[in-house]
Amino acid sequence: MSVTPETPIIPKVKRDAILNVLSKGFHIDKRPLYSYRNIEIVKNVAPNADSSVLVKLGHTQVLAGIKLEIGQPFPDNPDEGVLIVNAEYVPAASPSFEPGPPDENAIELARVIDRSLREPRVVALDKLAIIPGKKVWVIWLDIYILDHDGNLVDASMIGAMLALAQLKLPRIDVDPNTGEIKIDKSQRETPLPLNRYVATVTVYKIEDILLIDPTAEEEAMATASITMAITEEGNIGGIQKRGLGYFEEKEFDRIVEISLSKGKELIELIKQYTK
Amino acid sequence: MKREKPQLIINGRRLDGRAPQDLRPIKIEVGVLKNADGSAIVEIGNTKVLAAVYGPREVVPKHQEQIDRAIIRCRYRMLSFSTPGERKSPAPSRREIELSKVIREALEPAILSYQFPRTAIDIYVEVINADGGTRTAGITAASLALADAGIPMLDLVAAVAVGKVNGVIVLDLNEVEDMYGEADMPVAAMPSLKRITMLQLNGVLTPDEFRQALALALDGINRIYQLQKDALRRKYVEASE
């Protein structure tokens, strides 16, 4: 059952202060409404992973990691590799996160990231078959929220994209007689084949004000948000509205405009870090 | 077997004979269950979805209670035999968990939940037969069930999916179009207020296609809205005459 979450109580003075600066076009931390906080990337934080990236978006911290396996393809796509995305809200990240299996928020996050990668065909899964129909690369992309200070989707997507872009496939040897596959993880040459880069831009609504990248405090005041996955080519590769509120029909031109321009910015940033 | 992409639009007509902007035939009935406070069944083409509402009622477990409003609880699920092919496991899938949340959030903006503090309004959406558009039919049915339960709302919520199939923007995708099409975009709105309460996109659209798709969805939603009102009138106005 999906249950209305409890809205955090924000003292009225704080609320008024936030609304006051927002109405003047700024976040509570003095950035303009349509700018991201400082983004810091730390690569290879978990050397045992096949690829790992820590993303710091302001005080939000997200850790994305990949484990590669050789497995069976899905029966409906026998010649393609497999990508599986999972997300977990670690209880260390916020007093409101509880231990236990992923809840609806974590599942939704994982599915939004998954769709934003799958539909624009970010990973060239068709190039990941080892023995078509039998053995393919399986990419387990796991996202852990380590510290929650708002805008988890965009931070997670940056992490997911960078973890994929950095991934190098290990050398494999296929025994022609037995069909047995040996992986040599000490030798990595081929980068994971990617078709394009994608970033998500989440536009939040507080009263009538649209903004991006809120802090947790601001996010708690937002009535709704809309995440758009933007591709390198400037197309929309996925959308998800979340929250108890709504968007007006006439707000969409602005939302698309913000998402396209900020998405482009994020993709450029992601590309810089992959160099 | 590799999926072969079938031709879904031939001479401007879809496989079931519809034009791109056509809805499938819709049948709506309100008040179909005896015990539920409100209920409705929506059939759209071969998709058939039942929604039931209980409440406002006492919150069990009590710790879920909120002092200033009613909580909305929603469960979307597909009956084990509702899909073509194999039996669906009755254990909740990740998709069903996400859709329960998405449907709840599509209805929350319409419900005047602050009129019923410390209570729960429970919404159950059961997919009886699935042929594309089950979440949207579920939302359309659930908002009628809420109205049937006498729960005050700002407006009904109506929903429909739009998408891109063989390069054409089409309304109300069925299962085959959803599976082989390029994009599927479910939309829910409160039609009189022009407020969009759900929007998802699974697929790739250009910004122009997105605008066109959204406009087509809202047009379809308006048509479904009229049918919703007709269904409510059939139960309440004609019955009292």
Q: Kindly state whether residue A73 falls inside one of the protein's structural domains.
A: yes
Query: Per-residue pLDDT for A254 more than 80?
Result: yes
pLDDT digits (tens, 9 = 90+) for B191-236: 999 999 999 999 999 999 999 999 999 999 999 999 999 999 999 9
Q: Kindly state whether residue A6 falls inside one of the protein's structural domains.
A: no
Q: CB neighbours of B2 closer than 8 A, spacing ≥ 6? A: A76, A77, A78, A79
Residue A234: beta bridge partners? none
pLDDT at A61 (0 to 100): 98
Query: Per-residue pLDDT for B89 more than 70?
Result: yes
Q: Do A120 and B211 touch (CB under 8 A)?
A: no
Q: Do B105 and A242 touch (CB under 8 A)?
A: yes
Cβ pair B79, B126 in contact under 8 A: yes
Instruction: Write the single-letter amino acid at A115.
Output: R
Taking residues A123-147, report their average pLDDT.
Answer: 96
pLDDT band at residue B241, thresholds of 50, 70 and 90?
Answer: low
Q: Do B98 and A104 touch (CB under 8 A)?
A: yes
Dihedral angle computed from the Cα positions of residues A75, A81, A85 and A86, in that order, rounded to the nearest 10 degrees: 70
pLDDT at A160 (0 to 100): 98
pLDDT digits (tens, 9 = 90+) for A57-73: 999 999 999 999 999 99
Taking residues B175-189, report their average pLDDT.
Answer: 96
Q: Touching check for B195 and chain A: CB below 8 Å? A: yes
pLDDT band at residue B1, thresholds of 50, 70 and 90?
Answer: very low
Distance (Å, whole) CA B96 – CA B126:
11
Taking only residues 222 to 251 of chain A, the set having a beta carbon closer than 8 angstroms to any beta carbon of chain B reads 224, 226, 231, 234-250
Average pLDDT over chain B, rounded to an integer: 95
Nearest CB among A235, A236, A247 relative to B196 is that of A247
pLDDT at A182 (0 to 100): 87
| Count of domains for chain A | 1
pLDDT band at residue B4, thresholds of 50, 70 and 90?
Answer: low
Q: Name the residue of chain B whose CA is nearest to A86's CA.
A: B94
More confident residue, A275 or B234: B234
Cβ pair B14, B21 in contact under 8 A: no
Q: Kindly state whether residue A7 falls inside one of the protein's structural domains.
A: no
Q: Name the residue of chain A whose CA is nearest to B202's CA.
A: A238
Q: Do B202 and A119 touch (CB under 8 A)?
A: yes
pLDDT band at residue B29, thresholds of 50, 70 and 90?
Answer: very high
- In chain A, residues with a C-beta closer than 8 Å to the C-beta of B100 are 1-2, 104
Share of chain B above pLDDT 70, in %: 97
Whole domain around residue A153: which residue ranges?
12-274
Distance (Å, whole) CA B133 – CA B140:
11
**Other residues' Cβ atoms within 10 Å of the Cβ of residue A174:** 13
pLDDT at A90 (0 to 100): 96
CATH code assigned at A112: 3.30.230.70
Q: What is the DSSP letter of B167?
A: T
pLDDT band at residue A8, thresholds of 50, 70 and 90?
Answer: confident
pLDDT at B237 (0 to 100): 85
Q: Touching check for B212 and chain A: CB below 8 Å? A: no
Q: Touching check for B205 and chain A: CB below 8 Å? A: yes
- In chain B, residues with a C-beta closer than 8 Å to the C-beta of A226 are 199
Taking residues A90-117, report their average pLDDT.
Answer: 96
Q: Kindly state whether residue A56 falls inside one of the protein's structural domains.
A: yes
Q: Name the residue of chain B whose CA is nearest to A1's CA.
A: B75
Q: Kindly state whether residue A1 falls inside one of the protein's structural domains.
A: no
pLDDT at A185 (0 to 100): 83
Share of chain B above pLDDT 90, in %: 94
Q: Kindly state whether residue A2 falls inside one of the protein's structural domains.
A: no
Nearest CB among B73, B100, B195 relative to A246 is that of B195
pLDDT at A189 (0 to 100): 83
Q: Touching check for A272 and chain B: CB below 8 Å? A: no
pLDDT at B2 (0 to 100): 44
Taking only residues 8 to 27 of chain B, the set having a beta carbon closer than 8 angstroms to any beta carbon of chain A reads none
Nearest CA distance, B108 vs chain A (angstrom) = 6
Q: Name the residue of chain A whose CA is nearest to B193's CA.
A: A248
Cα distances (angstroms) measured from residue A90 to each of A3, A58, B210: 20, 18, 35
Q: CA nearest B168: which of B23, B7, B54, B2? A: B7
Query: Per-residue pLDDT for B187 more than 60?
Result: yes
Q: Name the residue of chain A whose CA is nearest to B92's CA.
A: A1
**Interstrand relation of B168-171 and B158-165 (parallel, antiparallel or unpaired):** antiparallel
pLDDT at B30 (0 to 100): 98
Assigned superfamily of B14-240: GHMP Kinase, N-terminal domain (3.30.230.70)
Taking residues A113-123, report their average pLDDT.
Answer: 97
| Confidence (pTM) | 0.96
Average pLDDT over chain A, rounded to an integer: 95
pLDDT band at residue A7, thresholds of 50, 70 and 90?
Answer: confident
Taking residues B126-145, report their average pLDDT.
Answer: 98
